[in-house]
Amino acid sequence: MNDFNLRKKPMNLRSRSIYLLPNLFTTGALFAGFYAIVQAMNSKFEFAAVAILIAMVLDGLDGRVARMTHTQSEFGAEYDSLSDMVSFGVAPSLLMYEWAFRDLGKIGWFAAFIYCASTALRLARFNTNIDVVDKRYFQGLPSPAAAALVAGFVWVMGDYGFMGPDLKWQAVAITVFAGLSMVSNVPFYSFKDFNMRKSVPFIAIVLLAVFFMLISSYPPGVLFFLFMGYALSGYVSWVFKLRRRTLQGPL
């Protein structure tokens, strides 16, 4: 979450550029979401999917930049949420509707609306619970990950030559699953305790290099399965915790 504070005393150009930087990332994410909507309406679905993924990257950067420059504020938090609603709520739901749901009638727009409404509820819950939840875990699937799952599905299926109507029921399942996962109570690891300033083992650098090699080899497929794995990881962890509690029994 980000923002720059307007101060009464004059600021030099360097200070002004630092305070503006986080909001520029948020604005870039908002533009990417808007661009995705326009491209989806023009039936350029691959461009729309990539734009949503770019918005996800920019959204991840704005918060880190704000923390590094100590420019967090309530205004920035609200601006970030509004940008997220466009980029990760409206854009993916409209993309899916234009790509696969048009021939489904009420079922199509209902599935798209479930996703869109779930994003709004997810963002509202995140903003109200931000000070009371465990920072290591998200409560429900994060909206950028849900949007990446939906956009990745469109991108990889289009790359394999499938048209939206050919996979309309699979698209419904992915969209509803992503939407309901956002408003669930399933915990998803947040990676917020990962500190890049600390030293790491050499094997971590090797794995990171392999990770980037895999993405560069086939971005649509690798990114889609990466976010599908993340979406399923919360449920797997949740089931293991329930199983452990059942085996331990009441204390």
Query: 10-residue block means of pLDDT along the chain (251 residues)?
Result: 42 45 91 98 96 95 81 82 96 97 93 97 88 77 96 95 94 97 92 65 77 85 94 91 74 50
For residue 138, the cross-strand partners are 188
User: Which one-letter amino acid corresponds to residue 57?
Assistant: V
pLDDT of residue 198: 66
pLDDT for position 140: 92
Residue 6 pLDDT: 39
Helix axes 45-68, 13-41, angle to 10 degrees: 160
* pLDDT score at 216: 84
pLDDT at 137: 85
pLDDT value at residue 15: 39
Q: Give the pLDDT confidence score for residue 36 in this predicted structure.
A: 98
- Amino acid in position 98: E
Every domain of the chain and the residues it spans: 13-248
pLDDT of residue 132: 62
| Residue 199: strand, helix, or coil | coil
Q: Domain spanning 13-248 has what CATH number?
A: 1.20.120.1760
- Structure token pair of residue 158: 């289009």
